[in-house]
Amino acid sequence: MIKTSTQNELIQYVYDELPEEACTQLEAALMQDMELAEGCSELLMIQQLLDEAAAAPRKCAVDNILNYSKSLSLQS
Protein backbone atom coordinates (compact mmCIF):
# COMPACT_ATOMS: atom_id res chain seq x y z
CA MET A 1 0.00 0.00 0.00
CA ILE A 2 1.49 3.32 -1.05
CA LYS A 3 1.23 6.09 1.58
CA THR A 4 -0.91 9.13 0.69
CA SER A 5 2.07 11.45 1.18
CA THR A 6 4.09 9.39 -1.31
CA GLN A 7 1.20 9.36 -3.77
CA ASN A 8 1.01 13.15 -3.55
CA GLU A 9 4.75 13.33 -4.14
CA LEU A 10 4.29 11.12 -7.18
CA ILE A 11 1.79 13.61 -8.59
CA GLN A 12 4.25 16.46 -7.95
CA TYR A 13 7.02 14.37 -9.52
CA VAL A 14 5.22 13.72 -12.82
CA TYR A 15 4.33 17.41 -13.02
CA ASP A 16 7.92 18.51 -12.28
CA GLU A 17 7.00 20.21 -9.03
CA LEU A 18 8.82 18.02 -6.52
CA PRO A 19 11.78 19.74 -4.81
CA GLU A 20 15.15 18.33 -5.89
CA GLU A 21 15.96 16.53 -2.65
CA ALA A 22 12.57 14.83 -2.46
CA CYS A 23 12.92 14.03 -6.15
CA THR A 24 16.17 12.15 -5.56
CA GLN A 25 14.61 10.19 -2.69
CA LEU A 26 11.55 9.31 -4.74
CA GLU A 27 13.66 8.17 -7.69
CA ALA A 28 15.62 5.90 -5.35
CA ALA A 29 12.31 4.50 -4.03
CA LEU A 30 11.07 3.94 -7.59
CA MET A 31 14.06 1.67 -8.21
CA GLN A 32 13.14 -0.50 -5.22
CA ASP A 33 9.35 -0.49 -5.14
CA MET A 34 7.58 -2.07 -8.12
CA GLU A 35 4.12 -0.95 -6.98
CA LEU A 36 5.32 2.63 -6.79
CA ALA A 37 7.04 2.35 -10.18
CA GLU A 38 3.86 0.97 -11.76
CA GLY A 39 1.85 3.80 -10.22
CA CYS A 40 4.31 6.31 -11.67
CA SER A 41 4.16 4.67 -15.08
CA GLU A 42 0.33 4.80 -15.07
CA LEU A 43 0.39 8.49 -14.18
CA LEU A 44 2.86 9.28 -16.96
CA MET A 45 0.72 7.42 -19.51
CA ILE A 46 -2.45 9.25 -18.48
CA GLN A 47 -0.51 12.52 -18.53
CA GLN A 48 0.62 11.81 -22.10
CA LEU A 49 -2.93 10.93 -23.13
CA LEU A 50 -4.20 14.18 -21.63
CA ASP A 51 -1.56 16.08 -23.61
CA GLU A 52 -2.61 14.41 -26.83
CA ALA A 53 -6.31 14.89 -26.10
CA ALA A 54 -5.90 18.66 -26.46
CA ALA A 55 -8.09 19.61 -29.39
CA ALA A 56 -7.30 22.32 -31.93
CA PRO A 57 -9.66 25.02 -33.16
CA ARG A 58 -10.10 25.59 -36.90
CA LYS A 59 -7.72 28.02 -38.58
CA CYS A 60 -10.55 30.42 -39.41
CA ALA A 61 -11.30 30.90 -35.69
CA VAL A 62 -7.65 31.74 -35.02
CA ASP A 63 -7.53 34.07 -38.03
CA ASN A 64 -10.59 35.93 -36.69
CA ILE A 65 -8.72 36.66 -33.45
CA LEU A 66 -5.58 37.85 -35.22
CA ASN A 67 -7.55 39.99 -37.66
CA TYR A 68 -9.51 41.56 -34.82
CA SER A 69 -6.31 42.51 -33.06
CA LYS A 70 -4.84 43.98 -36.25
CA SER A 71 -8.01 45.98 -36.90
CA LEU A 72 -7.71 47.54 -33.45
CA SER A 73 -4.08 48.47 -34.12
CA LEU A 74 -5.05 50.16 -37.37
CA GLN A 75 -7.72 52.21 -35.59
CA SER A 76 -5.35 53.50 -32.91
Partner 1 sequence: MNTTTQLSDSALVSLYIAGNESAFEQLVNRHKNKVYTTILVIVKDSYTAEDLMQDAFVKAIHTMKSGRYNEEGKFSSWICRIAHNLAIDHFRKEKRSPMITLEDGNSVFNNMSFSEDSAESLQVKEDTHARLRELIQALPQTQREVLMMRHYAEMSFQEIADATGVSINTALGRMRYALINLRKKMLKNNIAYDKNLYSE
Determine the size of the site formed for partner 1 (CB under 8 A): 35
CB neighbours of residue 20 within 10 Å: 7
Q: What's the CA gap between 12 and 22, in Å, rounded? A: 10
Task: Yes or no: say if 42 and 2 are a contact pair by the CB < 8 Å rule.
Answer: no
Site for partner 1 in 5-64 (CB under 8 A): 7-8, 10-12, 15, 17, 42-43, 45-58, 61-62, 64
Contact residues for partner 1, defined by CB under 8 A: 4, 7-8, 10-12, 15, 17, 42-43, 45-58, 61-62, 64-66, 68-70, 72-73, 76
